[in-house]
Chains A and B, each alone.
Chain A
Amino acid sequence: MEREEIKDKLAEIIKPYVQDMEAFGNISEATDLLQDLKINSAHLIDVVLDVEEAFDIEIDDDSVEKMITVKDSVDTIFASVDSAA
């Protein structure tokens, strides 16, 4: 799976959790999930669960903590999808 494809799929997953839709409209790899998109930190775990389901992967706790920006998240998913494949 290509990075760009992962990024688009990730954006669809996080959309319902986003509380700043303007920031979501300008989403880039540098976008911070909590700071920029104002996702409730407690809901980040739900994003991870949705990502796991959508990509059929499992993300370990250490990787979850590193998912701060869109880039971090795509990297994590990319690595998992890659190793699963």
Chain B
Amino acid sequence: MNNRVVVTGLGVVAPNATGLENFRSAIRAGKSGIEKIPLLGDLKFSCQIAGIPDVSEELKHQYFDELTVKVLKSTGIIYGCIAGIDAWKDAGFDVSSDNEIDWDSGCVFGSGLTGVDALRDAIYGVDALKVRRLGSRIVEQTMASGISAYMGGILGLGNQVTTNSSACSTGSEAITMCYDRIKSGKAKRMLAGSCDSEGPYIWGGFDSMRVLNRKNNETPEKGSSPMSEEASGFVPGAGGGALVLEELDSALSRGAKIYGEIIGTAVNSGGQRGEGSMTAPNPDGVKRCIRQAIDSSGISPNDIDAICGHLTSTMGDVIEVDNWSKALGRKGDDFPHINSLKSMIGHCLAGAGSIECVAALLQLEGGFFHSSINSENIHPEIEKVISKNKIPHSLMETTNFEVIAKSSFGFGDVNCCIIFKKWNNK
């Protein structure tokens, strides 16, 4: 089997917007979702800014019953479910507990440390000798697959329902797994997504590693500046993104809206060898991953019009751009356009890949390319590799891009690359 796979639904809960239309407007406007978080200051964090989605109690009640709103401590599960339900509806499917089970639809919905706040309560309860008072809702929030378990039940999915986890490449990896499943004929539709919660217990380790921004506590919106000379550490974020991947014939027979086609993917690891380590990518792995994705797409590196990078606002940005240039064999003015959504929303960790892929598809389908904000002072090492004008400092209104490449990389030296192609009704 070699089915073609298209994207027919999108949903997103991001630090700068909740809901697809709000998100589209936000990324077009270059709106930052980074704010000062007083709690982080109280807890003596060096980085006191972050991107946290705005989800009101009223909004939660539109997606969950009263009881679930009361007990859900895992914000990552909340963000993931809202994004997933939105994507499913956007694809034209009903969401109702009366739905018949759909054996041809499944989900791979990744997560990082979504259940940490529920786990904290459980730990305090156990240590206080109150294990019998933990109740029935701790396990579903603290198990790694909590988000896919919620999603599967809400949507009535009967195909594979699982959670993947590969640090900051989780969201993109989920998409590749869903793509493979549909391509090979094992499912007709898959909800691909990822999410992560916010908070000091998730971010503390990163703060201690000194990989977070610590220079912009009073200027939060300037804190995430991928590819700039000022890039000095990432800004932590949280949220969830979801995409409905569908076998082309199924999408066509339903007359579904098609955001784009996935024409190739690759995942690999640099093995933490050479320049690679737990935290740094081995450039050989990254370049190989990009080339494999392109090869599997049946296109030439020259066909790539734009790159939505991983680009976290660290020194890694310089290495990433260099890897792209070498993998594509393109530099200077010949290099594709490149931007980073993290400039607006920070790094949503396990949630990042899926949120950023939602953005990539909105740009591909909508024919625009968003500003990579805070990149005015391009890092000199990046400017040696690519022309300045390849990084947009304002919205590119009309692009006609045919192919956008998306990359995600994660701790553990893991890499992922996805090639999206504009849908031209053929």
Question: Which A residues are closer than 8 A to B by beta carbons?
Answer: 16-17, 42-43, 45-46, 49, 52
Contacts and interface: CB of A to CB of B under 8 A. Distances in A.
B70 A43 contact: no
A45 B67 contact: no
B137 to A, nearest CB: 7
A46 B66 CA distance: 14
Is chain A's interface secondary structure helix, strand, loop, or mixed overall? helix
A45 B70 contact: no
Contact of A16 (B70, B136, B137): B70
B255 interface: no
B135 A49 contact: yes
A43 B136 contact: yes
B314 to A, nearest CB: 44
16 contacts: A16-B66, A16-B67, A16-B70, A17-B67, A42-B136, A43-B67, A43-B136, A45-B135, A45-B136, A46-B71, A46-B135, A46-B136, A46-B137, A49-B133, A49-B135, A52-B133
Contacts of A42: 136
A27 B399 CA distance: 63
Nearest to A44: B136
Contacts of A16: 66-67, 70
A42 B70 CA distance: 16
Question: Considering residues B70, B133, B135, B137, which has the most beta carbons from chain A within 10 angstroms of its beta carbon?
Answer: B135
Nearest to A15: B66
Contacts of B66: 16
Contacts of B67: 16-17, 43
Contacts of A17: 67
Contacts of A52: 133
A43 B139 CA distance: 12
A63 B137 CA distance: 22
| The 9 residue pairs across chains A and B that have the minimum distance between CB atoms | A16-B67, A42-B136, A46-B135, A45-B136, A46-B136, A16-B66, A49-B135, A43-B136, A49-B133
Contacts of B136: 42-43, 45-46
B163 to A, nearest CB: 20
A17 B136 CA distance: 12
Interface string B181-221: 00000000000000000000000000000000000000000
A57 to B, nearest CB: 13
Nearest to B135: A46
A1 B137 CA distance: 31
Contacts of A49: 133, 135
A34 to B, nearest CB: 14
Interface in B378-413: none
Interface in B66-118: 66-67, 70-71
Interface in B108-136: 133, 135-136
Contacts of B137: 46
Given A43-B67, A43-B136, A46-B136, 13 more contacts: A16-B66, A16-B67, A16-B70, A17-B67, A42-B136, A45-B135, A45-B136, A46-B71, A46-B135, A46-B137, A49-B133, A49-B135, A52-B133
A26 to B, nearest CB: 21
Contacts of B70: 16
Nearest to B66: A16
A61 B93 CA distance: 43
A52 B133 CA distance: 10
A73 to B, nearest CB: 17
Question: Considering residues B66, B67, B133, which has the most beta carbons from chain A within 10 angstroms of its beta carbon?
Answer: B67
Interface in B39-66: 66
B77 to A, nearest CB: 17
Nearest to B133: A49
A44 B92 CA distance: 35
